[in-house]
Chain A
Amino acid sequence: DGGITQSPKYLFRKEGQNVTLSCEQNLNHDAMYWYRQDPGQGLRLIYYSQIVNDFQKGDIAEGYSVSREKKESFPLTVTSAQKNPTAFYLCASQGQGPRGYTFGSGTRLTVV
């Protein structure tokens, strides 16, 4: 079955450490997105990529970095510069046509 996989499901990080969240899709979608969700809030866009080797900042990119070396993969690095990284992180992909996004199941990051 085609889908989008995020790993790990839960992640704990010490303050001052960088951590990378994985997002892989086998849907042959061109566009991929990273969102952050805080409790009781909507989704806020961190970064997005519409094609391999190209990506753009979203609304809250500070303290995050991404790469898009392969169509299937769009990893997100939460750097030590992100002052409040504890959140639920969601990756999504989008193909051609009007159907919209397919989301992963999310990674819950906790800073300890």
Chain B
Amino acid sequence: DAKTTQPNSMESNEEEPVHLPCNHSTISGTDYIHWYRQLPSQGPEYVIHGLTSNVNNRMASLAIAEDRKSSTLILHRATLRDAAVYYCIQPLLTGNQFYFGTGTSLTVIP
């Protein structure tokens, strides 16, 4: 089963770092971990992806555990615009499809 496990919701104060965890214990050695986020009434947007080593881009950082069974999306300074549902995804075995669960709903407190 290629479903990941994330907390349903998290809160963060504005301008503080946020660490969003994800468990993906069934991931294969060649599957990338992807993170997307969805703002209200919009389609999900790409945030970051990685395979083994930690990754950084202008939006976030991705820390991947050494055994690859978990990862953490890091928003270095949360803003109100970061309030969204964050999805952690690994591809399904067939057709390279992505399974989107309910994700983590992030609330940013001013």
A and B part of one assembly? yes
Q: B-contacting residues of A (Cβ < 8 Å)?
A: 6, 31, 33, 35, 40-43, 45, 48, 50, 56, 58, 88, 90, 92, 94, 98-106, 108
Determine the main DSSP class of A at the interface with B: strand
The answer to whether A31 and B96 touch across the interface, beta carbons within 8 angstroms, is: yes
Name which residue of chain B comes closest to A106, CB basis: B43
Q: A-contacting residues of B (Cβ < 8 Å)?
A: 32, 34, 36, 41-46, 49, 51, 87, 89, 95-103
The answer to whether A104 and B97 touch across the interface, beta carbons within 8 angstroms, is: no
Given contacts A50-B95, A94-B96, A98-B49, contact A105 B43 (CB under 8 A): yes
Determine the main DSSP class of B at the interface with A: loop
The answer to whether B97 and A90 touch across the interface, beta carbons within 8 angstroms, is: no
Cα A41 to Cα B43 in complex, Å, equals: 13
The answer to whether A45 and B49 touch across the interface, beta carbons within 8 angstroms, is: no
Given contacts A48-B97, A100-B34, contact A42 B43 (CB under 8 A): no
Distance in angstroms from B62 CB to nearest chain A CB is 13
The answer to whether A56 and B95 touch across the interface, beta carbons within 8 angstroms, is: yes
Given contacts A42-B103, A106-B42, contact A98 B51 (CB under 8 A): yes
Given contacts A50-B95, A56-B95, A106-B41, contact A42 B49 (CB under 8 A): no
